[in-house]
Structure 1
Amino acid sequence: MRLLAALLLLCAFTTVSCGGAGSGDSVTVLGSWTGAEGEAFRAMLSGFEKSSGIHVDYTGTRDARAVLASELHDGTPPDTAVLANPGDLRTYAAAGELKPVAGTAEGIGGDLTSATGPGGARRPYGIVVKAAVKGLIWYDPRTLPAQTRGRLAQPIGSFDDLAKIASGAASKPWCLGLADTSNSGWPGTDWIEDVLLHESGPAVYDQWVAGTLAWTSDPVRKAWQKFGSIVAGTRSGTDAVLLTGYGKAGAPMFTSPPGCLFDHAGSFITSFYGQNPGRPQAGRDYDFLPFPGGQAVEIGGDLLGMFRDTPAARKLVAYLTTAKAQETWIERPGSGAFSLNRSVPPKDYPDPLSRRIAQTLASATTVRFDGSDSMPTVMAAAFDHAVLEYVADPTPRRLDTILASLDKVRRTTRFAS
């Protein structure tokens, strides 16, 4: 009886269930998800355990990237691990640390997780467990002039068209905050990436991300200049932009009178909007439109790679991409998770706003990962820092110096494909 009680207590306090068919197999997962995200992922893992009989040992920590590097150095990697970004996936694949996975490239975005391995062959080396849709333009419909609301109801052809609509609603219409406790500057890189992807097309974007297109090239320079026009269109001034957290940048949309009218942010921003006074509600207090300029979508994604090729690990990787597993996460209200599995229809999302975002993703003809997330770490860090420098002094002469410096980093950095 004491042994039974001890086993029951063990099952109650472990991170995953003790159920299943009892095959004796197990698989380890290292991830960055804790709190509510961790609970959502554990629910996915629980479904896998029940259907496969394979036990999952999940370790969730905010230091997952450092822990993974340490375990790889010691020769004791987990079977599978959540990767910080596509750049890490490419680096680990090129070094032979990651094992290729089969049958995961189909779906929205195609071969987003393909990389070049040690032998030179390009194969899928991971899966996107969940995605965030970036490049959305948010606004409070109640504070916009009727004429502006009418123009937003029509398709917007380009960034320049959007800029004209925004400037017609207010002389300085844009919300913007670049501060982040761990990585300031990235909201500005999102702007530049979106402009380049939509204005110059995916081929140019891919060359830039791969390090084969110079930062001083005309398409990249023009993207920076258009970001500069956004900086000039903020009411708060450059000092406030540098010091304002990205999650608080859109808060002035909800004040009376509003302090700004338009916020460029990913699907995850809604959790921050809901924390403002009065608890703004989707549809009534805020809405979005896709980034103008064609059916291209930029995403952020949480990836999972396989570091030990075992039957249990392969089964887990295959399961996590299924509609059943994906729906476990996306159906949770407020999860902010979006699936790249085309078998998960937009109607399965829990509210009208998330359904519309899912439809934007599903109807995209081009899907690309966040550019800086896809670059080597040293290049991405230089990009973030360069954005902060440019905002502090958004002059043509300063931009020339910044782009030349970034190009120097590009030429001395090894890009994994």
Structure 2
Amino acid sequence: MRRPRPRPRTLAILGVCLALLAALAVGLNAYRWKGSVTVLANWTGPDEKQFRAKVIDPFEKKYRIHVIYQGSSAESQVLAADVETGTPLDVAILPGPGELAGYASRGQLKSLDDLVGAKDFSSTWMPKVAGPGPNRTPHTYWVPVKAGLKSMVWHPATLSSDQLKAVAATPSAWCLGMASGATSGWPGTDWVEDILLQQAGWKVYSQWATGNLSWSDQRVRRAWTTWGALVGAGTPRISGALTTEFDKASAGVAKHPATCRLEHQASFVRSAWQEMRGTYSPSAEIIPNAGQNARSWEISGDLAAMLRDTSQARRLIRYLASPAVQRSWNTEESGFSANKAVLRDAHSGDQTAGSIASTLSDRTAKLCWDASDAMPSAMREAFSQAALSFLATGGDPKEQLTALEAVRSKQPKTGLTSVCGRG
């Protein structure tokens, strides 16, 4: 039996369908991923959401490189385990240079010398540190993707300078929150670090932060006792501070100013204090017995390093360092960039933010990395626990300092020779 011949209309429809399928195949091929890159950072929740929206999604769209992101509050442990098993992620973003310098000294980071222009960042943010081997050749191993300013005391804008000093002498005036999950205690280490910096100066501070000064040194001990006297260590009010989340310490200041009026905290609380009509003063103006280094500042930052040298990882490092990308997401809420060009113009519409950005890029100011972030992870964790213990008990910090000195004696050198520099 003869089969019926297709009608011309049927052939036309079939032709259109085949053409659409071919076009779809071409389109799918054109947007196929060009590889992937794995990234580890400590951003979760709203921070991760912002990072994905402002950085990851545009990167994937532009380069068609799939970003496999892992956010963890225990990223130090995750990274250490991955490196030990020989399966590190491609890119890790860690807070501070301490752990990264250790990985660099063991040959576990890839040099970024040919990837990122040093002219965009000061050497404080992107130093050359010792690499592996007998020659210990220095290289650039990380790039800052986010920056913060510390050594700040937030307070109601209505307080005059004299009133501020008077209020600061009352322990109950300080807003305190030490809780931060697995990293609880770091607001206390920030206090001790900053007091040492302002009292003893940046040279002593840098020596201590790099593991070259005993925890039993009298200048270190004075910093602890100064902190204890300021905030009332060992008094009944401290029990509440130990369980208060660090980002909730100042909650209710506007409605109940009698509870606390001052907060020693970094630039990330800017938005909250501005909503309460607050401002900040340099901590050097408030810390007792501050020395001549009254304009020294602690800084913090999230630093991206490359553990596996792939074309996708190199592309992401360049992308993270670019002024356009840093400007796009570091102007959100309380974020800041360490890029010179971004700092010059990103916060021109906000006086408080502009002042912070100006300090971060000030060539006349001495900027020093958060000391605990420059220490090996074991030293940092012991420091945080000691701060909690001392805050709870008060009195003489001899017991805590003796224990910390024992930890220091067992730590390898990270390769950092200094933690202070210019903006």
TM-score by length of 2: 0.79
1:329 paired residue number: 329
Q: Does 1:126 align with 2:142?
A: yes
Cα gap change, 1:294/1:150 in structure 2, threshold over 3 Å: closer, same or farther? closer
Q: Deviations over 1:318-373 (max 9, x none)?
A: 332221111011233x2x22111111134422644322221232226222221112
1:110 paired residue number: 124
Question: d(CA) in 1 for partners of 2:229 and 2:59?
Answer: 49
Which shows bigger deviation, 254-263 or 121-130?
Answer: 254-263
Higher Rg? 2
Q: Deviations over 1:28-57 (max 9, x none)?
A: 433333444334334334555566x46242
Cα gap change, 1:382/1:4 in structure 2, threshold over 3 Å: closer, same or farther? farther
1:286 paired residue number: 278
2:9 paired residue number: none
Contact 1:173–1:261 (CA under 8 A) maintained in structure 2: yes
Runs of 5+ consecutive residues of structure 2 not aligned to the other structure: 1-19, 285-292, 416-423
Q: Deviations over 1:265-313 (max 9, x none)?
A: 1122246x3xxxxxxx616522112222533221221111111223443
Cα gap change, 1:284/1:257 in structure 2, threshold over 3 Å: closer, same or farther? closer
1:158 paired residue number: none
Counterparts in 2 of 1:178-189, with a 5 A limit? Answer: 178-189=178-189
Contact 1:132–1:267 (CA under 8 A) maintained in structure 2: yes
1:277 paired residue number: none
Counterparts in 2 of 1:215-364, with a 5 A limit? Answer: 215-232=215-232, 237-270=237-270, 273=272, 282=274, 285-292=277-284, 293-332=293-332, 334=333, 336-349=334-347, 351-363=350-362
Percentage of matched positions with identical amino acids: 34
Of the candidates 88, 109, 113, which is equivalent to residue 99 of structure 2?
88
Contact 1:54–1:312 (CA under 8 A) maintained in structure 2: no
Question: d(CA) in 2 for partners of 1:338 and 1:258?
Answer: 32
Of the candidates 51, 65, 68, which is equivalent to residue 41 of structure 1?
51
**Displacement, 1:387?**
1.0
Q: Deviations over 1:134-177 (max 9, x none)?
A: 222111235x4xxxx2548xxxxxxxxx755623xx57422222
1:300 is aligned with what amino acid?
A: S
Runs of 5+ consecutive residues of structure 1 not aligned to the other structure: 12-17, 153-161, 274-280
SS at match of 1:205: helix
1:382 paired residue number: 382
Cα gap change, 1:164/1:89 in structure 2, threshold over 3 Å: closer, same or farther? same
Cα gap change, 1:370/1:5 in structure 2, threshold over 3 Å: closer, same or farther? farther
Cα gap change, 1:5/1:38 in structure 2, threshold over 3 Å: closer, same or farther? farther
Question: d(CA) in 2 for partners of 1:3 and 1:171?
Answer: 74
C-alpha RMSD over aligned residues: 3.2
Q: Does 1:79 align with 2:122?
A: no
Q: Does 1:141 align with 2:157?
A: yes
Cα gap change, 1:5/1:182 in structure 2, threshold over 3 Å: closer, same or farther? farther
Question: d(CA) in 1 for partners of 2:373 and 2:398?
Answer: 24
Q: Does 1:411 align with 2:409?
A: yes
SS at match of 1:408: helix
Q: Deviations over 1:385-410 (max 9, x none)?
A: 111121122213xx122212211111
SS at match of 2:182: coil
Cα gap change, 1:24/1:406 in structure 2, threshold over 3 Å: closer, same or farther? closer
Contact 1:178–1:245 (CA under 8 A) maintained in structure 2: yes
**Displacement, 1:262?**
0.8
Question: d(CA) in 2 for partners of 1:346 and 1:303?
Answer: 20
Contact 2:125–2:143 (CA under 8 A) maintained in structure 1: no
2:173 paired residue number: 173
**Displacement, 1:193?**
0.7
Cα gap change, 1:286/1:235 in structure 2, threshold over 3 Å: closer, same or farther? farther
SS at match of 2:198: helix
TM-score by length of 1: 0.80
Cα gap change, 1:250/1:233 in structure 2, threshold over 3 Å: closer, same or farther? farther
1:354 is aligned with what amino acid?
A: A
Cα gap change, 1:367/1:104 in structure 2, threshold over 3 Å: closer, same or farther? farther
Question: d(CA) in 2 for partners of 1:132 and 1:85?
Answer: 11
SS at match of 1:305: strand
